[in-house]
Structure 1
Amino acid sequence: MRRRPAAVAAAGVLALLVLLALTAPLLAQLTGQDPNAYHDDLVDSARGGVPIGSFGGISADHWLGVEPGTGRDLFTRLVYGARISLLVALGATAVQIFVGVSAGLAAALGNRFVGQLIGRFTDVMIALPMLVLGIALTAVVPPDFPRPLLLILIIGLLDWGGTARMVRAQTLALRDLDFVDAARLSGNGTLRIARRELLPSLAAPVITLAAVKVPTAMVAEASLSFLGVGVKPPTPSWGQMLSSAQTWFRADPTYVLLPAGLLFVTVLAFTVLGDAVRTALDPREGSRLRVGTRRERKG
């Protein structure tokens, strides 16, 4: 993967983003800004709350300007919003992988009735519209339930069908191979065979799928927050910022471009890195994005 410039750049972007998210409290102390502190003196009330100054009120105290209407520091809200986006995306992906791998193994290694039952249920989960169900579920959950945890559970438990289908297909191809037959003849049970023989062989496709699922989960979180059923104020979120920016895109384009640009760059970096991981773990597969293919042909 080090021979792929785009993959290295994507990994660097993600490492920087994770560093910013982890050090958000330190960055807030460095800038001397509270992400939830209002600054009415930094917005022009006569113009409806437009930030005073150029480019959304950028200054030495507010590195990326301030939020229209409230005057809250935009830089600190963006880095705190990165924590929510990454937490929800990684947590939801972990739930998807755990449930999908468990269901796929059970469908492939269980009896015919169990396999058919899990297979039909998986087909139903794949066909369900995740956003519509997510909106419905967030509407009936008590408002004091932690929203990041709720989003992790909703996205993770509604989007595991593709993982289960892939794991089932891979397991069906592996279970009749010689090393699995040898483990079965040695007296190992189904759970032991799955844990010690099949899971190591499934690691490469599962890791590849997880790298692709992370940006999908991040977009889902941003979509739910954009629709007003995700993270609730005053907790910052990129999707929530984009939702509130709808009324400000003419008066203050910076407020729209910053969270949208960060979301786009993050999803693109995860996509490029996931494609590079897939190609590295399975050299027979070519890169869908043509990441680093020119250098590989020269070598």
Structure 2
Amino acid sequence: MTATPVNELAEQTPEPNGEGPRTKAITSNSPTKLAMTRFRKDRKSMVAAAIVVFYFIAGISGPILVALGVLDPYSTNQDLIGPDNLPVGDWWGISWSHPLGVEPGIGRDVLSRIWLGITFSLVVSISASIIAVVIGVVLGIVSGFSGGWVDSIVGRFTDLILAFPQTLLLLAGSSIGLAVLTETLHVPDGAISQGLFVILVLGFFGWTGTCRLIRGQVLSLREREFVDAARLFGASKRRIWFKELLPNLWAPVLVTFTLYMPAFISAEAALAYLGVSVRPPTPTLGNILHDAITYATGDFLYFFAPAFLIAIIVVSFNLLGDGLRDALDPKGDR
């Protein structure tokens, strides 16, 4: 007598007309489907996911709307600026043409600059997150699986990066780094070279947490039966790393990526305050907030709008990361 597979089990329920039992199939769910079911039950995570999706849509649509003429982040409107360099009117220049008012001193549309600023902040945060995750995952897998002197070297290198002052590197090496990008690598000067410098520094100095997390996971996975089976079949180390171990690490990698994004958005805003990030007239959320500090008392909306947007984005990404972590961990407390 053979056992019936789980996905072929049937539940018998009596027919209401008495014609006999009715068979109802019971289907099994994959781990991914179970995780999505748990995630959808978390209302806070669903709201955070909706905000994150809107953030991505806004970032992607920004340059398109500028090209179509719907947004105009660069044109000045001096006729809307009073003698005190503040927007004329009682509501900071708010009108149908400028829903969030105009920029003090220059008169550029605040909504257009914030909308396009989302695009540049999105590019910086995504690019830096990808670099940090890729470096951390590769070094974590190699370190955890190899052990011995390889693990020791990667561990000490990670400690060195953690001890290195990133902010001082950005401040002291910005001129040298920009010169290397523009003169040696022939990167166009301006917003592209400035943004690329910030991306490289954030990415190359932000992988340490991912490396240690992945190393701990690999130390457990390398003793599993499927890794022993791959060794017995003569699989190379590279195949074991990226074909056997990496598919079992996508859950912590995904959660880590969602936590890197808000960290780098906040870091870009902080670097803009220090004058290291992309400089005006190219808008980012960081340099808009930096310029708004001067007019925080006279034009509160110009300061509040980018600050509130950064706070909402950071909180949403953090809630999304927490929700994904709980959904992907079936042993976690819910």
The residue number in structure 2 matching 1:184 is 231
Amino acid at match of 2:237: T
Q: Is the 8 A contact 2:142 2:241 kept in 1?
A: no
Matches within 5 A, 1:192-203: 192-203=239-250
How far 1:109 sits from its partner (Å)?
2.7
In the alignment, structure 2 segments of 5+ residues that lack a partner are 1-38, 180-188
How far 1:54 sits from its partner (Å)?
2.7
1:56 corresponds, among 92, 110, 113, to 92
Q: Is the 8 A contact 1:13 1:266 kept in 2?
A: yes
Matches within 5 A, 1:121-270: 121-142=157-178, 144=189, 146-270=193-317
How far 1:157 sits from its partner (Å)?
0.3
Mapped to 1, the partners of 2:330 and 2:127 lie a distance apart of: 29
Distance 1:26 1:195, change over 3 A: closer
Q: Is the 8 A contact 1:134 1:155 kept in 2?
A: no
How far 1:59 sits from its partner (Å)?
0.5
Mapped to 2, the partners of 1:137 and 1:76 lie a distance apart of: 32
How far 1:30 sits from its partner (Å)?
7.2
Q: Secondary structure at the match of 2:178?
A: coil
Deviations 1:158-188 (A, max 9, x none): 1111111111111111111111011101100
Q: Is the 8 A contact 1:96 1:156 kept in 2?
A: yes
Matches within 5 A, 1:14-53: 14-28=52-66, 32-44=70-82, 46-47=83-84, 49-53=85-89
Q: Is the 8 A contact 1:139 1:229 kept in 2?
A: no
Q: Secondary structure at the match of 1:72?
A: coil
Amino acid at match of 1:99: I
Return 20-29 or 115-124, whichever deviates more: 20-29
Aligned residue pairs total 285
Amino acid at match of 1:93: S
Mapped to 2, the partners of 1:211 and 1:113 lie a distance apart of: 32
How far 1:199 sits from its partner (Å)?
0.3
Q: TM-score, normalised by structure 1?
A: 0.91
The residue number in structure 2 matching 1:88 is 124
Distance 1:228 1:271, change over 3 A: same
Mapped to 1, the partners of 2:93 and 2:69 lie a distance apart of: 15
Q: Secondary structure at the match of 1:23?
A: helix
**Identical residues among aligned pairs (%):** 38
How far 1:210 sits from its partner (Å)?
1.1
Q: Is the 8 A contact 2:104 2:299 kept in 1?
A: yes
How far 1:191 sits from its partner (Å)?
0.5
In the alignment, structure 1 segments of 5+ residues that lack a partner are 287-292, 294-299
How far 1:139 sits from its partner (Å)?
3.2
How far 1:284 sits from its partner (Å)?
1.8
Amino acid at match of 2:77: H
Deviations 1:1-54 (A, max 9, x none): 11111111111111112222222245447775521111111111x21x101123
Amino acid at match of 2:51: V
The residue number in structure 2 matching 1:289 is none
Q: CA RMSD in A?
A: 1.6
Q: TM-score, normalised by structure 2?
A: 0.81
Mapped to 2, the partners of 1:209 and 1:189 lie a distance apart of: 28
Amino acid at match of 2:121: S
